[in-house]
Copies of this chain bind each other. A is one copy, B any other.
Amino acid sequence: MAGKEEVAFLGPIASYTHQAALSHFPQPHYTIVPQTTIADVFAAVQSGSVSQGVVPFENSSNGSVIFTLDLFADLAGRNPDILVCGEVYLGVHHCLLGRSKDAPEGQDAGTGRTTAENVSGSPSPAKSRGKPLRDLGHITKLYSHHQAWGQCNDFLTTYFKGVERIDVSSTSKAAEIVQQDDSGCSAAISSRMAGELNGLEFLAENLEDNEGNSTRFLVLRRRRDDGTARPDGSAGAADGEAETDDEHARYKTLVSFTVRHSEPGDLAGCLAVFQKFGLNLTSINSRPSNEATWHYIFFVEIMGRKRHDGSGAVNQALKGLDGVAQSWRWLGSWENALEA
């Protein structure tokens, strides 16, 4: 690739994934390119049209991003060379973006749905962290991404019970739609960056139920001919040396596997393999494998990394899966970015 490396992210501009990409790939060293869907980011990395990609993986309040898990499951065999090579944690603070009703900027209208009591059947406003900064009584339609609703439950129950919610492809798309709605009756749950980009007013801030609300993004890279995912050598150094506890704590590895449908005991057997080699499981997820009804593909994340020379506990565990799992796939090893 001539010139700067290109990095794809789940767009559009001002999406939370865009912010994660900017923090991991500082400009002007990289050209970062928005994609419409998570599948498009995977496809761009798989095809080699970009060198890396950034996708959302899980939110601390709302759980896994199942679309991303399903793309890692890769049941259609479209992304055989995708590997995770990094992660980014980003604090997520949602704003309610729209237009205030007849109120000059900087002046609170002070009437209507600014307090929870005005909404029939709603409980104490104390439950919601986010408090309105403007009158909300004129808002009859909310736009956001599906993941955001689940993160702002308290605010929505307190101030917008029964108000129509429209799911759109991203929180930043929601802000764009609201910007184009001349009626002024719609609002978006989106980021500060999207509010500023679209010139919208901040009707409320910090809508998320949990103060620590954050999202983990994964950085994707295409598998090299040697099977490694080594951006700048970060997860590939130190081969040949003995493994240390520090090495286990410094890296993470993602593995998917399936088990024989007829042998439910195999699931425990696969998990036991990781324990046998002293690997700490940090998370487990399952998704329908669609191979057969009620058949699953499992995803485990473990501390430690697969070394290129075949040594170490992760390599031993992967070898151990051969005897128990119906199929398995190493989905990458990368440096742990979560501060203890």
Chain A residues in contact with chain B, CB under 8 A?
59-64, 66, 146, 150, 164-167, 210, 212, 214, 216, 264-265, 267-269, 271-272, 274-275, 279-288, 290, 292-294, 296, 298, 303, 338
Contact = CB atoms under 8 A, between A and B. Distances in A.
Contacts of A271: 268, 271-272, 275, 281
Contacts of A293: 60, 210, 212, 214
Given A268-B275, A294-B60, A294-B338, A284 B287 contact: no
Contact of A283 (B164, B167, B214, B286): B286
Contacts of A164: 166
B281 A63 contact: no
A222 B285 CA distance: 29
A73 to B, nearest CB: 11
A16 to B, nearest CB: 16
A156 to B, nearest CB: 13
A278 to B, nearest CB: 8
A250 to B, nearest CB: 14
Nearest to A64: B286
14 contacts: A60-B288, A63-B66, A63-B286, A64-B286, A164-B166, A167-B167, A210-B290, A214-B293, A265-B280, A267-B284, A271-B271, A271-B272, A271-B281, A294-B338
Given A166-B167, A265-B281, A268-B271, 18 more contacts: A60-B288, A60-B294, A63-B66, A210-B290, A212-B293, A214-B293, A216-B294, A264-B281, A265-B280, A267-B282, A268-B272, A268-B274, A268-B279, A268-B280, A271-B275, A272-B275, A284-B298, A285-B286
Contacts of A292: 212
Q: Kindly report how many copies of this chain are found in the complex they form together.
A: 2
Nearest to A267: B281
Q: For chain A, what secondary structure do more than half of its interface residues adopt (helix, strand, loop), or is it mixed?
A: mixed
Contacts of A265: 280-281
A282 B303 contact: no
A150 to B, nearest CB: 8
Nearest to A338: B294
A157 to B, nearest CB: 11
Contacts of A290: 61, 210
Which 10 interchain pairs have the tightest Cβ spacing?
Answer: A264-B280, A268-B275, A212-B293, A60-B293, A267-B281, A265-B280, A268-B281, A271-B271, A264-B282, A167-B167
Nearest to A211: B293
Of A59, A146, A166, A293, the most chain B CB neighbours within 10 A belong to: A293
Contact of A272 (B146, B272, B283): B272
Nearest to A89: B294
